[in-house]
């Protein structure tokens, strides 16, 4: 007899939850018993799952660490999941490849301050997942660890003056 693990998923992306449900339905020893868009809504309902998949970035802006703490206190084992949106992944990959913040902003077609905001969000997401980023080298390490940016980025000097090496000037700014 196969032991079945009942799991729940907390995420506010309904398409993701539907895809997850379809995928899990083909797994013999895992059963998705409940989904909810927030920790509050999940904890307010009768629960049977011992394991909860938790998205760190919920639209209710609830604190990820508090969400994990609440679920653990309620007796659940928590698996944290976080998806970095495509634009954030692109900015992370470009910055980690060695481009300056100004070059990343130009490449993506946004202002420098907006690029900085994206990097700050990325850093906060990794910190919430227990994988802090303290400097540019750690941005590159996260890209390698998570295999981000391999699809279409190419070399950091493939577009002329976007690279600090292209004009001989070092325009990098420390975090």
Residue 151 has pLDDT above 60, yes or no: no
Residue 157 has pLDDT above 60, yes or no: no
135 torsion bin: left (phi>0), alpha (psi -120 to 50), beta (else): beta
Domain assignment present for residue 33? The answer is yes
Does 109 lie in the same domain as 59? no
Q: What is the pLDDT of residue 147?
A: 61
User: Which of the listed residues 46, 81, 116 is the one where a domain comes to its end?
Assistant: 81
What sign results for the dihedral spanned by CA atoms 50, 53, 59, 63? positive
Q: What is the pLDDT of residue 108?
A: 94
Looking at residue 126, which CATH number applies to its domain? 1.10.10.10
Average pLDDT value over all residues in the chain: 80
Does 75 lie in the same domain as 12? yes
Q: Return d(Cα 90, Cα 103) in angstroms, integer.
A: 13
Which pTM does this prediction carry?
0.54
Does 99 lie in the same domain as 59? no
pLDDT by residue (tens digit) across 82-91?
667 888 888 9
Provide the domain count of the chain.
2
Does 145 lie in the same domain as 128? yes
The residue-averaged pLDDT of 127-144 equals 85
User: Which of the listed residues 58, 81, 104 is the one where a domain comes to its end?
Assistant: 81
Mean pLDDT check: name the lowest of 12-21, 131-140, 146-155: 146-155
Q: Return d(Cα 173, Cα 50) in angstroms, integer.
A: 46
Does 40 lie in the same domain as 90? no
Q: Which domain holds residue 134?
A: 86-167
The residue-averaged pLDDT of 104-120 equals 95
Does 148 lie in the same domain as 97? yes
Does 39 lie in the same domain as 23? yes
The residue-averaged pLDDT of 98-120 equals 95
Does 158 lie in the same domain as 116? yes
Does 71 lie in the same domain as 91? no
User: Which of the listed residues 21, 54, 81 is the one where a domain comes to its end?
Assistant: 81
The residue-averaged pLDDT of 86-115 equals 93
Q: What is the pLDDT of residue 168?
A: 34
Looking at residue 36, which CATH number applies to its domain? 3.40.50.2300
| Confidence bin at 156 (pLDDT 50/70/90) | very low
pLDDT by residue (tens digit) across 5-39?
999 999 988 888 888 888 888 888 999 999 999 99
Q: Return d(Cα 116, Cα 27) in angstroms, integer.
A: 41
Does 70 lie in the same domain as 34? yes
Look at residues 85, 98, 86 and name the one whose alpha carbon lies nearest to residue 154.
98
Does 43 lie in the same domain as 95? no
Identify whether the C-beta of residue 156 lies closer than 8 Å to the C-beta of residue 94: yes
Residue 165 has pLDDT above 70, yes or no: no
Q: What is the pLDDT of residue 158?
A: 36
């Amino acid at each position: 007899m196969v032991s079945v693990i009942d799991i729940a998923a907390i995420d506010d992306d309904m398409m993701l939850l539907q895809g997850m449900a379809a995928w899990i339905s083909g797994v013999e020893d895992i059963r998705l018993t409940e989904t909810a868009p927030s920790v509050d809504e999940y904890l307010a309902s009768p629960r049977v799952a011992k394991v909860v998949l938790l998205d760190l970035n919920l639209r209710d802006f609830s604190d990820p660490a508090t969400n994990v703490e609440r679920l653990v206190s309620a007796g659940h084992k928590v698996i944290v999941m976080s998806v970095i949106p495509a634009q954030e992944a692109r900015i992370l990959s470009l910055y980690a490849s060695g481009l300056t913040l100004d070059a990343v902003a130009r490449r993506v077609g946004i202002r420098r301050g907006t690029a900085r905001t994206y990097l700050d969000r990325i850093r906060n997401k990794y910190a919430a997942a227990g994988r802090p980023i303290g400097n540019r080298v750690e941005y590159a390490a996260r890209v390698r660890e998570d295999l981000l940016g391999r699809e279409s980025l190419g070399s950091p000097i493939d577009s002329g003056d976007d690279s600090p090496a292209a004009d001989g000037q070092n325009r990098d700014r420390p975090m």
